[in-house]
């Protein structure tokens, strides 16, 4: 196990290097620059600004200088956000995105696994068809469609039941208040609930047909004990493999959601950096996302080995 972990950690270094290299040159290949604006700067001022940020040097030299700073943990200053470094902006936005993502994934796992198990136990009945139909809708409808719809229903029009107002804010962070994060979390969780429900259903059906489950039933064990203590653990193995990239994916998927709801997360910074050609901020967010994907996949592999004794991590 330790040897496997060390190999994966060492393999993460060249992976990050390739991602940084591709991202650096792809961003610089895009037209425009961080200091292009509708108001043209005088040539001498523009040259001084570019010299201050090493943008007047050859591209390969800029790349070498960036790698040198990155090796010392320096992500550089933001080209557009004054008085802030990239590390400071990420430290401000990442907790917001992490909170949204982890809450959404927790909600998705609870409801997705429950619906998937329920559908598998009632295979080819109306419960199974209902769950899979809803799951298909959840997968096919993108977040930028569900977000405005929920905003209209719960924010603009409002819902009043039994004399209580259930209207919710349509934007803003408000220090992470519960009312402000309900809609973004639901929008992020809906497609994941659908995917997890389908994964759990298919895996659970396969496990319930296995020989050791038949043996457990033949011994007279209750359905609850067979499902919870025997079938569910094996059925969750494909889900564990999915959760690693899914958690990272739900964070990157929050780009649109954060922009729609006006949340100060790292995804919103990335969109603003892309529009403003803020190279250093874009690179910092890409590196942050890449590191999260690698780390979460690593954790998923370790958990897979712990849950299934047949898997040997060497």
Asked if pLDDT for residue 3 goes beyond 80, the answer is no
Longest distance between any two alpha carbons in the chain, whole Å: 86
List Cβ neighbours of 299 (8 Å cut-off, separation of 6 or more): 244
**Is the alpha carbon torsion for 211, 215, 218, 223 positive or negative?**
negative
Q: Can you give the pLDDT at residue 111?
A: 93
Q: What is the pLDDT of residues 263-283, one digit of tens each?
A: 888 877 888 888 888 888 888
Range of the domain at 108: 88-270
Average pLDDT over residues 85-89: 87
Is residue 37 included in any domain, yes or no?
no
Q: Can you give the pLDDT at residue 170?
A: 81
CA 174 to chain centre: 22
Count of structural domains, the chain: 1
**Token pair 């994966």 in the structure block, residue:** 8
Q: Can you give the pLDDT at residue 38?
A: 54
Average of per-residue pLDDT values in the chain: 81
For strands 164-165 and 160-161, give the pairing: antiparallel
Q: Can you give the pLDDT at residue 211?
A: 78
Is residue 41 included in any domain, yes or no?
no
- For residues 154 and 152, what is the distance between their CA atoms, to the nearest angstrom? 6
Is residue 154 included in any domain, yes or no?
yes
Average pLDDT over residues 221-238: 75
Say how many C-beta atoms besides its own lie within 10 A of residue 204's C-beta: 24
Tokens of residue 130, six digits: 């209902």
Average pLDDT over residues 277-292: 86
Q: What backbone torsions phi and psi does residue 269 show, to the nearest 5 degrees? A: -60, -40
Q: What is the pLDDT of residues 28-38, one digit of tens each?
A: 887 777 766 65
Rounded to a whole number of angstroms, the CA Rg of the chain reads 24
Q: Can you give the pLDDT at residue 309?
A: 60
Tokens of residue 309, six digits: 């004794």
List Cβ neighbours of 165 (8 Å cut-off, separation of 6 or more): 158, 159
Average pLDDT over residues 191-206: 88
Q: How confident is the model at residue 39 (pLDDT cuts 50, 70, 90)?
A: low
Average pLDDT over residues 220-241: 75
As a whole number of Å, the end-to-end CA separation of the chain is 6
Tokens of residue 50, six digits: 């570019």
Dihedral of CA atoms 258, 264, 270, 274 in degrees, nearest 10, equals 90
Q: Can you give the pLDDT at residue 107?
A: 92
Is residue 50 included in any domain, yes or no?
no
Q: How confident is the model at residue 204 (pLDDT cuts 50, 70, 90)?
A: confident
- For residues 123 and 311, what is the distance between their CA atoms, to the nearest angstrom? 29
Average pLDDT over residues 35-61: 74
Is residue 189 included in any domain, yes or no?
yes
Q: What is the pLDDT of residues 96-142, one digit of tens each?
A: 888 888 899 899 999 999 998 888 888 888 888 888 888 888 888 88
Any idea what the CATH number is for the domain that residue 216 is in? 1.10.3720.10
Q: Can you give the pLDDT at residue 110?
A: 92
Provide the total of helices (H) and of strands (E) in the chain, helices listed first. 14, 2
pTM (predicted TM-score): 0.79
Residues composing the chain: 314
Is residue 161 included in any domain, yes or no?
yes
- For residues 101 and 107, what is the distance between their CA atoms, to the nearest angstrom? 10
- For residues 189 and 115, what is the distance between their CA atoms, to the nearest angstrom? 14
Average pLDDT over residues 60-65: 88
Is residue 143 included in any domain, yes or no?
yes
């Amino acid at each position: 196990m330790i040897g496997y972990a060390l190999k994966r950690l060492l393999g993460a270094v060249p992976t990050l290097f390739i991602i940084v290299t591709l991202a650096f040159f792809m961003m610089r290949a895009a037209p425009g620059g961080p200091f292009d604006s509708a108001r043209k700067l005088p040539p001498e001022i523009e040259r001084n600004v570019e010299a201050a940020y090493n943008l007047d040097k050859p591209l390969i030299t800029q790349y070498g200088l960036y790698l040198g700073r990155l090796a010392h943990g320096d992500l550089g200053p933001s080209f557009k956000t004054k008085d802030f470094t990239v590390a400071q902006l990420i430290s401000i936005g990442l907790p917001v995105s992490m909170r949204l993502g982890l809450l959404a994934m927790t909600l998705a796992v609870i409801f997705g696994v429950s619906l998937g198990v329920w559908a598998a136990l009632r295979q080819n009945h109306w419960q199974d068809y209902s769950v899979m139909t809803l799951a298909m809708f959840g997968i096919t409808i993108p977040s930028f469609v569900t977000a405005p719809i929920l905003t209209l229903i719960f924010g603009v029009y409002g819902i009043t039941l039994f004399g209580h107002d259930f209207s919710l804010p349509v934007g803003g962070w408000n220090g992470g208040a519960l009312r402000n994060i309900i809609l973004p979390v639901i929008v992020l969780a809906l497609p994941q609930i659908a995917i997890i429900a389908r994964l759990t259903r298919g895996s659970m059906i396969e496990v319930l047909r296995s020989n050791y489950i038949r043996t457990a039933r033949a011994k007279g064990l209750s359905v609850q004990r067979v499902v919870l203590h025997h079938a569910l653990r094996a059925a969750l193995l494909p889900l564990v493999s999915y959760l690693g990239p899914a958690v990272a994916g739900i964070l990157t998927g929050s780009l649109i959601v954060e922009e729609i709801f006006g949340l100060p997360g790292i995804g919103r910074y990335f969109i603003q950096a892309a529009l403003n050609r803020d190279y250093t901020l874009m690179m910092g967010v890409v590196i942050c996302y890449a590191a999260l994907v690698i780390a979460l996949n690593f954790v998923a592999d370790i958990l897979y080995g712990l849950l299934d004794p047949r898997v040997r991590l060497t």
